[in-house]
Structure 1
Amino acid sequence: MFTDLSSRNESFEKFLSTFNQLAPHARIDLDSGQSAFRWSGTFAATSGFSWWEVGSEIDWTCRFPQQKERLGLVLPSAGTVHAKIRNRTIVIDRDSALALSVPDVSSISYAGRGGHGHVTLEFDMALVQKTLSASFEGVALRNIELSPQLGLAGPAGRMLRMLSEAVGSGMRDTLLRSDKSMALLGESILRLVLLGFPHCLGDRLLRDTTNAAPHQIMDAIDFMRANMHQPLTLSEIAGAVGISIRSLQYGFRRYRSVTPLAYLREIRIEAVQAELSSPLNALSIKDVALKWGFTHMGHFAARYRAAYGTAPSETARLARAGSAR
């Protein structure tokens, strides 16, 4: 789903109808009635989460008569956001993001002289729980007590802003928009929020980084080798051996002196080299690279040359020459 609306050519009722498709649990109340005013709204939904960017000349309040467990992020671009959470009010501007990780948010108000604007992402609970379980086995979202105010000045905050902007660019550009790419961005944002911002399980992250055993890393390697022709993610690899993503990363650095994804690229390059070296190979270089998970031919050729000191075409030529002899 992708819809781009504005007061130039659509009614505000159309805005409300589109908004309610993505957030049926919410209701918007205008602070000054429905007299003519300028507004804009871009709405999109993809695998795992919804995204919208809106702006308005007048203030309004979003109320939540239906309480539901969810994880939402609000990043103001202009004006301020006031959220009533657990009987206290949180006020943020564009220097912070608002994290809605509890079901008892009663209202969110958007205000600003001359107008206000913000981006919101709301994640499906299935994706939230999958991402949460990868780092904190057996923990539910309601138990982590994520801080509702996320500062954007630090490294994690700057990364959150960049990833949010990347989602916006991907949603707007038909050449970039795909469920797979958006799903990966959504998971990246969730992992960043869960691992980079304060919550009550922060100290558990430090304990979890040392609990990967050597046999679990060997199991992860076996899983990679058996599935390296698939588009594997860290979450899938960690889940296959029953450890968190953090534990997987720490274990590879400790026992293999490399990151999991770098190791995966290494064994994929080895598989490409073995196939191109075979006199029985009938596939093109591009097809062999794609078979083993390399989709960008320029990056693939550079990595191959760095690993073997020669171009993949030279490996294939020598194999054909040997076969001819």
Structure 2
Amino acid sequence: MPQASWNAFDHLSFAGTDLQELSTSLSRLHSRIDVRPEGSRKAQYQINMVRARGISIIASVYDGDFSIHFPASAETITVLIPLAESATVTVADRKLPSIQNQGILFDGQSNGQLRIAGPRTHLCLRVPHLEFARRIEARLNASLRGRLRFANEIDLSQGSGMDVALLAMTMHHGLMGETLRKSPRALGHLLGAMLELLIDAIPHNYSQEFSRDRKSPVPWHVKRAIHYMHGNISQVMTLKEIADACGVSPRTLQDGFRKFRMTTPMAYLEHLRLDVVRQELSSAHPDQSVRTIAQKWGFTHVGRFSGQYRKRFGELPSQTLSRIGENPVGAGKIEISRSQRMALAE
């Protein structure tokens, strides 16, 4: 399997009428997807899928009477953008119409079902939860407090939602032909734009903070503290040391971070370090030690570090490391350089 980048992605194209073959093919990119007949009408399908960096883009044309069942996967968010005709999506026992001008999102906390009855064309995105979280953190320049939660319905009739629908049509057309499969870099840029538009179009539990962040410029001492943290991220540092480097009192620094970053300076530093550790674990050799990597970035108590890591990413650091050994595609997550991270403080 090729290394995950938008210059080398997994591609799968198929068409047919056999639902068992459809189930098997869909499960090649995301396991345990089950397709079930719902009536006597003969099924037909034509699908083009690509996958890289843990993200799948699925351009589909269906006809017939059947349902597609997605198992719960807390790490994956699924976005369904209808392009022609209708279908029904069931999320946590709630039935949602997937029709023109209304997209659907389900975050994988519960099993999902897509019910096809007649012709149907759509674009489906399956994106790691962490990918959305990182993009929102980059916008806010702040670590998220708790799990990111989106609304299930997307208004595609206006604003950013309309742009999502138009972009989905372009991507679907490019994938069903050969244009985007021959230009993976263009596909990567289109996907990045799509994810940013979705963040604007779908209400989530950080939507209000986007508006507040635009209205309130970040104070210079908070910016300077963030730069100081990035520049000394592997070193032991105290709140007083950071405050002294910024020329303010610890209390002023605390107040600034609480107001403009919705956390404390030391919690912010901890999240920065956890992100760096995860990035290194995601590209490390399986024989490397979690302890060595954690201590390299300032985590001296490995037991406490493992708890912090699991709370932030939903898995133990050893699981991240072992998964890379089993599936090198996982190593292709987006990497942010030190200079890029520091630029986010501006």
Could you tell me the TM-score, scaled by structure 1's length? 0.59
Alignment partner for residue 341 of structure 2, among 239, 257, 264? 239
Give the distance between the partners of 2:42 and 2:64, measured in 1 at CA. Answer: 10
Instruction: Confirm or deny that 1:173 pairs with 2:178.
Output: yes
Q: What is the alpha-carbon distance in structure 2 between the residues aligned to residue 119 and residue 32 of structure 1?
A: 24
> Which one of the candidate residues 13, 16, 33 is aligned to 1:4?
13
Partner of residue 307, structure 1: none
What is the Cα-based RMSD across aligned positions, in Å?
3.3
The equivalent position to 2:93 in structure 1, one of 87, 105, 127, is 87
Of structures 1 and 2, the larger Rg is shown by 1
Structure 2: distance between partners of 1:39 and 1:175 = 20
> What's the CA shift string for 1:243-267, capped at 9, x where partnerless?
4xxxx5xxxxxxxxxxxxxxxxxxx
- The partner residue of 1:21 within 5, 15, 28 is 28
Amino acid at match of 1:146: F
Aligned residue among 148, 159, 162 for 2:163: 159
Deviation at 1:123, TM superposition (A): 1.3
Change (3 A) 1:50 1:97: same
Provide structure 1 residue ranges, at least 5 long, that are not aligned to the other structure.
221-232, 249-325
How far apart, in 1, do the equivalents of 2:21 and 2:212 lie? Answer: 50
Answering whether residue 174 of structure 2 is matched by residue 72 of structure 1, we say no
User: 1-side partners of 2:121 and 2:179: how far apart?
Assistant: 24
Verify the 8 A CA contact 2:89 2:113 in the aligned structure 1: yes
Q: 1:198 to 1:129 in 2, by over 3 A?
A: closer
What residue in structure 1 maps to residue 102 of structure 2? 96
2:152 is aligned to 148
The equivalent position to 2:131 in structure 1, one of 127, 130, 139, is 127
What is the count of residue pairs matched by the alignment? 225
Matches within 5 A, 1:200-215: 200-209=205-214, 210-213=216-219
Distance in 1 (alpha carbons) for counterparts of 2:75 and 2:133? 11
Distance of 1:11 and 1:104 partners within structure 2: 27
- Secondary structure of the corresponding residue to residue 47 of structure 2: strand
Residue 36 (structure 1) shift = 4.7
SS in 2 for 1:21: coil
Whole-angstrom distance in 1 between the partners of 2:18 and 2:88: 26
| Post-superposition CA distance 1:301-322 (Å, at most 9, x none) | xxxxxxxxxxxxxxxxxxxxxx
Deviation at 1:83, TM superposition (A): 2.2
Change (3 A) 1:3 1:32: same
- Secondary structure, in 3 states, of the residue corresponding to 1:139? coil
> How far apart, CA to CA, are the structure 1 residues paired with 2:107 and 2:180?
32
Task: Report deviation, 1:121.
Answer: 1.1
Cα distance, 1:13 vs structure 2: 4.1
Change over 3 Å in CA distance of 1:240–1:196 after alignment to 2: farther
1:161, distance to aligned residue in structure 2 (A): 1.4
Partner secondary structure for residue 4 of structure 1: strand
Aligned to 1:264: none
Q: What SS does the aligned partner of 1:164 have? A: helix
Greater relative CO (CA pairs within 8 A, separation 6+): 2
Deviations 1:83-121 (Å, cap 9, x if unpaired)?
A: 222332211202211112241143222223xx2222211
Aligned match of 1:280:
none
- Which deviates the most, 89-98 or 180-189? 180-189
- Following superposition, the deviation at residue 31 of structure 1 comes to 1.0
Q: Deviations over 1:48-94 (max 9, x none)?
A: 52111222321222223444331221112333232222332211202
- DSSP 3-state at the match of 1:94: coil
Deviates more, 1:122-131 or 1:70-79: 122-131
Residue 190 of structure 1 aligns with which residue?
Answer: 195
Task: Read off the aligned partner of 1:22 and give its amino acid letter.
Answer: L
Q: Distance in 1 between matches of 2:68 and 2:26?
A: 11
Q: Match of 2:27, SS?
A: helix
1:62 and 2:68 correspond = yes
Alignment gaps of 5+ in structure 2? 1-9, 228-333
Indicate how the Cα distance of structure 1 residues 57 and 155 shifts in structure 2: closer, same or farther if over 3 A, else same: same
Residue type of the partner of 2:169? E
Indicate the percent of aligned positions where both proteins have the same amino acid: 13
